């Protein structure tokens, strides 16, 4: 199985800059696609960027022919408004377990200032298990 940008990543303009098992770096423009009505970077866009980075990182650490990673939990603290330019997400694994991975994601502006801090837990499930069963304890 090959990693590729999803429709959401394409829609938001998210691009992969660095991709390996220990670190994922992605960028996203702050423009009309990613701003909220007050003209600032939408928190949901930041969360989409963070989860994309964590998901790609997880995919590199599992056997994609047998397993898949699905978002289980994500939190984000939005620290600084951003009106234009580009933000960069850097994701590093905090925990690599058999059934979950936890990623720390730091989103920064062009000057390296923190815009958002996020932590994402990704569940690792068998591909032969239906997606509808994820989270049902089956």
* Each residue's pLDDT tens digit, 20-79: 999 999 999 999 999 999 999 999 999 999 999 999 999 999 999 999 999 999 999 999
Structure confidence by residue, pLDDT tens digits, 124-135: 999 986 555 555
| Whole-number pLDDT of residue 132 | 55
Out of 3.30.559.30, 3.40.220.10, 3.10.129.10, 3.90.950.10, select the CATH number for domain 7-133.
3.10.129.10
**Average pLDDT value over all residues in the chain:** 93
Residue spans of the domains in the chain: they are: 7-133
Instruction: Give the span between the Cα atoms of 123 and 9, in whole angstroms.
Output: 20
Is residue 51 part of the annotated active site? The answer reads yes
Q: Which residue among the candidates 51, 73, 110, 136 is catalytic per the annotation?
A: 51
Which 3 state secondary structure label does DSSP give 7? helix
Predicted confidence at residue 138, as pLDDT, reads 44
80's CB contacts (< 8 A; 6+ apart) are 109, 113, 114, 115
pTM across the whole model: 0.90
CA 12, CA 5: separation in Å to the nearest integer?
11
């Amino acid at each position: 199985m090959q990693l590729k940008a999803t429709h959401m990543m394409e829609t938001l303009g998210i691009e992969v800059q660095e991709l390996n098992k220990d670190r994922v770096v992605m960028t996203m423009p702050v423009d009309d696609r990613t701003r909220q009505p007050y003209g600032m970077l939408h928190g949901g866009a930041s969360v989409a960027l963070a989860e994309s980075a964590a998901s790609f990182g997880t995919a590199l650490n599992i056997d994609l022919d047998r397993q898949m990673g699905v978002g289980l939990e994500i939190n984000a603290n939005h620290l600084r408004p951003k009106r234009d330019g580009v933000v960069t997400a850097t994701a590093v694994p905090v925990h690599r377990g058999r059934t979950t991975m936890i990623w720390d994601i730091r989103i920064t502006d062009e000057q390296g200032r923190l815009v958002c801090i996020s932590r994402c837990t990704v569940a690792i499930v068998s591909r032969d298990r239906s997606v509808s069963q994820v989270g049902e304890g089956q």
